[in-house]
Amino acid sequence: MATLQLLRHATLRLTLGDTTLLVDPMLSEPGEMPPIPNSPNDRRNPLVPLPDVPLDHDALLVTHCHRDHFDQVARDGFAEGTTALCQPNDAEFLASTGADSQPVDDTATLGDLTVTRTPARHGYGDLAEQMAPVSGFVLEASDEPTVYHAGDTVPYEAVRETLDEHEPDVVVANAGAAQFTEGRPITMTPEDVVTLTEWTDATIVADHMDSINHCLATREDLHAALAEAGVEEQVVVPDDGETVDL
């Protein structure tokens, strides 16, 4: 059975076919990491504990190497010898941690899993350029739902084109409206998640909330926006530790 378990923030265990991926592991204890700089508050990260759940996996999938997606604990405890699918720009860094980095330029395979890298844009204007590069990934296995993990992105033309091209059954949307003291949000806002429901009929799983100090939109905010738009049934907002059957 295909499943997705949200551990915390963007850290997921995704099982498709015979392969389980640990996605964007951030495994630090609460308060072990400093606040994201230039943020509207100075709370130390992570804000919440990691659930006491199994972390077994066949490989890592690292969408990008910002510390809230691949932290020091993951480097020290999980990288050594582990296959790590990643964007090409991160391959050298992941290899330096001891991981068996497997850059996905276009499409790669891992066991019965096909992985296709897709564009992403981590914000708007000059800030997006500073935050780059980031990627999304489409994950496919025989007789399993197609999963599009959009990555740390805002909704823009390439996201819509990916939805049209791959027609995924499930979309993982990094929400939370992450924001610095200046500029627009660099991940999806509640309103952006509503926009995704207008672009696709897929089930949307929203994560990336309530764990890092600069993610200003909460699950409560997202639920309110979904209710106002009348699209609550299309979007799943899992709690930390919750497993979603795909």
- Contact in structure between 199 and 163 (CB atoms under 8 Å): yes
Q: What is the pLDDT of residue 79?
A: 72
pLDDT value at residue 170: 98
Q: Which residue has the tokens 């800030």?
A: 127
Confirm whether 134 is domain-assigned. yes
Distance CA 84, CA 98 (A): 10
Q: Is residue 57, in this structure, part of any structural domain at all? A: yes
In-domain check, residue 111: yes
Inter-residue contact 15 to 217 (CB < 8 Å): no
How far apart are the C-alpha atoms of 160 and 134, rounded to whole Å? Answer: 16
Residue 243 domain-assigned (yes or no): no
CATH number of the domain that 118 lies in?
3.60.15.10
**Residue 93 resides in a domain:** yes
State how many domains the chain has.
1
42 lies in a domain? yes
**Does 119 sit behind a cis peptide bond, omega within 30 degrees of 0 on the bond before it?**
no
pTM: 0.98
Residue 84 structural domain: 3-238
Q: Please give the pLDDT value at position 25.
A: 97
**pLDDT values of the chain reduced to their tens digit, one per residue, 246 residues:** 899 999 999 999 999 999 999 999 999 999 999 999 999 999 999 999 999 999 999 999 999 999 999 999 999 987 778 999 999 999 999 999 999 999 999 999 999 999 999 999 999 999 999 999 999 999 999 999 999 999 999 999 999 999 999 999 999 999 999 999 999 999 999 999 999 999 999 999 999 999 999 999 999 999 999 999 999 999 999 999 999 999
pLDDT at 78: 75
In a domain, 245, yes or no: no
| Domain assignment present for 244 | no
Residue 139 pairs in a beta bridge with 115, 147
Closest among 212, 207, 222, 240 to 41, alpha carbons compared: 212
